[in-house]
């Protein structure tokens, strides 16, 4: 009895020690490790990752009421007659001159790509903590300087500050925040189920490891000079790559400043700034860049004719490409939409934001007949009230800014005229606009065109301008048919009171992205982005955007338990060269197949027996 008591006390004593150890040491240690390595919010254990304040000057040109000299025709253009090797930057809203930039030469491109490749060699070893800190530093700078950054974008693209705050700043902050929160998980090795057969499955573990490609590139469009440029930089750097961005010749001035901002952040964190390079040249000189053997990946955002050239020259080095072209995005308005007023607000924002220069802007409103007239009436009233101008210089309230250039005005006017000639009703706009304060600025009237049908060019060709096009459909099926009838398949929306019906429509749309009862939010929430049909191929953004910039390396290995016991994969004697006995070798492998893949138990037993006898 006494002995047992003693033993019992012993156990109690050990139990107390263990509990104390667990509560006092293991739990705090786990908590520390969790805070240090597994949470993405900065705290006292991982403050290494916190944002660092940047010193980066705002250019005078972005200050309100900046007095820059205005260009006058025929000099209001990025390509001057005098100097074919330079790009002239100017503000499309006011035509104020912003600077002249020498096109990147071939020799410079070689050097930039070489420097980027060198910098990437150490960057690819960097920790996610450092990468997150870099993104946090950028995010903090953007948050603290929203006004000024918006003005830089407005000055170079002619959009309004509100357009910039939504389309440039908000989406960029979301991309930064999302990447910090979820990027690491997306890039962690992905464990796979391994071989399905019992025999091999018992032996092997399998996983995919995402390794940076090296130097990637992005050829980006001008419509969102901050966001389009920073998006690929964020994903490239976070996945351990270096990046060479080719910006559009329309927005060199702001692109240079935005890349300077990234360089300032890299310098501040003592990371080699060669990781991020900017090139610019005229499209016809871009072949050298897209055919460059130093690039391991190209993301192209732009138009179809240019995409043909990019793919052609990229094919010389078999450089993989993600291609994002235009769209003819539709909004389907179902017959049971309850609040047409609220819907009209979304249609207005989706069409006139950035003067309609949006890859995923609303190009077609396809409205079912019973709500058509009411919707047209509301839109008619609202579009007529839109005011044009440049709000970084003008004190009056404005709704819509300038377009990037006037070189597509003829075509947009022609599309409107073609539709009117074929029976469409033009309720507002339809032509270029002479702004009293900025007569040389590139303004186009906010346009409302209704009763459009598929016989008209505007129903099929991308406008990329401030034209709200409304089409009538007899019923929901016809609306879907109209929506799918064009060659593009980038983004769509469907609005209706009954979710199930909207969901059915979403499933029938030939499209890369669909928003149900919303517009374009699929872009904001960092889903993989890209179109189908003639809108391009491949995805950028989100998890696929990160892993798409990596070599997905498939790795197979022996299970840890087998490694511990020194069990190794070996070629069994019956099938080892030279084959001693052909019949036996055949018997061995065929039994292995039966043992692995046959469901009939007696067959499996028999083949195990045969295997044990070496196939005999």
Ligand X SMILES: *[C@@H]1O[C@H](CO)[C@@H](O)[C@H](O)[C@H]1NC(C)=O
Site string for ligand X, 404-443 (x = CB under 6 A): ------------------xx--------------------
Q: Is the peptide bond before 578 cis (omega within 30 degrees of 0)?
A: yes
From the list 77, 453, 484, 596, which residue makes contact with ligand X (rule: CB under 6 A)?
453
177 binds ligand X (CB under 6 A): yes
Which of 49/156 has CB closer to ligand X?
Answer: 49
From the list 19, 191, 455, 593, which residue makes contact with ligand X (rule: CB under 6 A)?
455
**Residue 187 to residue 555: CA distance in whole angstroms:** 15
Residue 138 CB partners (closer than 8 Å, separation 6+): 176, 230, 234, 261, 262, 265
Compute the least distance from the CB of residue 42 to ligand X, in Å: 8
From the list 98, 164, 180, 266, which residue makes contact with ligand X (rule: CB under 6 A)?
180
The 8-class DSSP code of residue 537 comes to E
Identify the CA nearest to 282 among candidates 513, 427, 86: 86
Helix H or strand E segment including 158: none
Q: Scanning residues 307 to 346, which ones bind ligand X (CB under 6 A)?
A: none
41 binds ligand X (CB under 6 A): yes
Catalytic residue among 281, 359, 367, 502: 359
Which of 188/563 has CB closer to ligand X?
Answer: 188
Compute the least distance from the CB of residue 40 to ligand X, in Å: 4
Compute the least distance from the CB of residue 144 to ligand X, in Å: 14
Q: Scanning residues 187 to 206, which ones bind ligand X (CB under 6 A)?
A: none
Identify the CA nearest to 288 among candidates 316, 267, 260, 266: 316
| Side-chain half-sphere CA neighbours of 392 within 13 A | 34
Which of 155/364 has CB closer to ligand X?
Answer: 364
Which of 361/542 has CB closer to ligand X?
Answer: 542
Strands 242-246 and 297-301: unpaired
Compute the least distance from the CB of residue 182 to ligand X, in Å: 8
Window of 174-182, 354-362, 378-386, 518-526 that interacts with ligand X by CB under 6 A:
174-182
Compute the least distance from the CB of residue 51 to ligand X, in Å: 9
Window of 55-63, 176-184, 243-251, 473-481 that interacts with ligand X by CB under 6 A:
176-184
Window of 173-181, 209-217, 472-480, 484-492 that interacts with ligand X by CB under 6 A:
173-181
40 binds ligand X (CB under 6 A): yes
Compute the least distance from the CB of residue 358 to ligand X, in Å: 25
Identify the CA nearest to 549 among candidates 520, 525, 528, 521: 528
Find tokens 């919707």 and name the residue. 375
Does the active-site annotation cover 359?
yes
User: Binding-site residue total for ligand X (CB under 6 A)?
Assistant: 11
Which of 142/286 has CB closer to ligand X?
Answer: 142
Query: Positive or negative, the Cα torsion across 51, 55, 61, 64?
Result: positive
39 binds ligand X (CB under 6 A): no
Which three-class secondary structure state does DSSP give residue 436? coil
Window of 263-271, 386-394, 409-417, 452-460 that interacts with ligand X by CB under 6 A:
452-460
140 binds ligand X (CB under 6 A): no
Which of 234/585 has CB closer to ligand X?
Answer: 234
Residue 453 CB partners (closer than 8 Å, separation 6+): 422, 423, 424, 459, 471, 472
Q: Which two tokens stand for residue 84?
A: 């074919």
**Phi, psi of 277, deg, nearest 5:** -125, 150
**Residue 506 to residue 512: CA distance in whole angstroms:** 11
Which of 355/450 has CB closer to ligand X?
Answer: 450
User: ∠ CA 76-463-402 to the nearest 5 degrees?
Assistant: 35
For the residues of 366-405, what is the DSSP string, one character each? Answer: EEEHHHHHHHHHHHHHHHTT--BS-TTT--S--SB---S-
Catalytic residue among 61, 168, 273, 324: 324
Q: How many CB atoms neighbour CB 129 within 10 A?
A: 15
Which of 162/170 has CB closer to ligand X?
Answer: 170
Active site residues: 324, 359
Interface with ligand X (CB under 6 A): 40-41, 177, 180-181, 422-423, 451, 453-455
């Amino acid at each position: 009895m006494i002995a047992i008591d003693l033993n019992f006390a012993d156990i109690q004593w050990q139990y107390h020690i263990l509990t104390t150890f667990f509560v006092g040491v293991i739990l705090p240690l786990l908590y520390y490790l969790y805070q240090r390595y597994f949470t993405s919010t900065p705290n006292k254990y991982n403050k290494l990752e916190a944002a660092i304040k940047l010193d980066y000057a705002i250019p005078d040109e972005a200050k309100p009421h900046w007095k820059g000299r205005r260009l006058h025709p025929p000099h209001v253009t990025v390509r001057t007659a005098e100097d074919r090797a330079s790009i002239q930057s100017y503000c499309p809203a006011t035509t104020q001159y912003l600077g002249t930039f020498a096109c990147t030469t071939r020799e410079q491109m070689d050097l930039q790509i070489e420097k980027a490749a060198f910098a990437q060699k150490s960057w690819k070893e960097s920790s996610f903590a450092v990468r997150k800190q870099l993104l946090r530093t950028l995010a903090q700078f953007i948050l603290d300087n929203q006004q000024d950054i918006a003005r830089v974008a407005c000055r170079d693209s002619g959009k309004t500050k509100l357009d910039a705050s939504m389309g440039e700043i908000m989406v960029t902050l979301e991309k930064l925040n999302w990447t910090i929160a979820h990027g690491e998980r997306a890039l962690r090795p992905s464990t796979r189920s391994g071989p399905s057969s019992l025999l091999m499955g018992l032996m092997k573990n399998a996983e995919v490891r995402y390794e940076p490609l090296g130097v990637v590139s992005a050829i980006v469009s001008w419509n969102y000079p901050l966001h389009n440029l920073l998006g690929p930089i964020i994903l490239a750097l976070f996945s351990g790559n270096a990046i060479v961005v080719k910006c559009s010749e329309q927005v060199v001035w702001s692109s240079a400043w935005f890349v300077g901002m990234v360089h300032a952040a890299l310098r501040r964190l003592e990371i080699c700034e060669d990781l991020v390079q900017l090139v610019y040249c005229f499209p016809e000189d871009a072949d050298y860049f897209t055919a460059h053997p130093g690039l391991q990946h190209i993301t192209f955002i732009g138009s179809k004719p240019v995409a043909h050239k990019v793919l052609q020259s990229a094919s010389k080095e078999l450089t993989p490409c993600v291609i994002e072209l235009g769209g003819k995005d539709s909004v389907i308005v179902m017959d049971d939409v309850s609040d047409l007023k609220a819907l009209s607000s979304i249609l207005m924002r989706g069409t006139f934001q950035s003067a309609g220069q949006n890859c995923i802007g609303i190009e077609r409103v396809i409205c079912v007949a019973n709500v058509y007239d009411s919707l047209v009436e509301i839109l008619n009233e609202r579009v007529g009230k839109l005011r044009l101008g440049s709000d970084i210089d003008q004190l009056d309230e404005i709704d819509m800014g300038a377009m990037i250039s006037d070189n597509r005005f003829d075509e947009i006017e022609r599309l409107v005229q073609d539709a009117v000639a074929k029976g469409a009703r033009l309720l507002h706009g339809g032509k270029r606009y002479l702004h009293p304060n900025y007569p040389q600025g590139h303004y186009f009237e906010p346009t409302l065109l209704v009763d459009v049908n598929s016989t008209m060019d505007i129903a099929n060709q991308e406008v990329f301008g401030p034209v709200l096009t409304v089409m009538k459909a007899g019923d929901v099926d016809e609306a879907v048919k109209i929506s799918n009838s064009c060659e593009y398949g980038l983004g769509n929306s469907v609005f209706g009171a009954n979710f199930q019906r909207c969901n059915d429509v979403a499933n029938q749309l030939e499209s890369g992205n669909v928003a149900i009862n919303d517009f374009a939010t699929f872009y904001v929430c960092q889903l993989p982005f890209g179109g189908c049909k003639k809108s391009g191929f491949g995805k950028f953004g989100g998890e696929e955007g990160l892993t798409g910039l990596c070599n997905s390396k498939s790795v197979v290995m022996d299970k840890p338990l087998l490694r511990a016991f020194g069990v190794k994969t070996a070629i069994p004697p019956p099938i080892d060269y030279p084959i001693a006995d052909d019949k036996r070798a055949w018997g061995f492998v065929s039994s292995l197949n039966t043992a692995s893949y046959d469901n009939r138990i007696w067959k499996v037993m028999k083949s195990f027996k045969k295997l044990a006898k070496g196939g005999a």
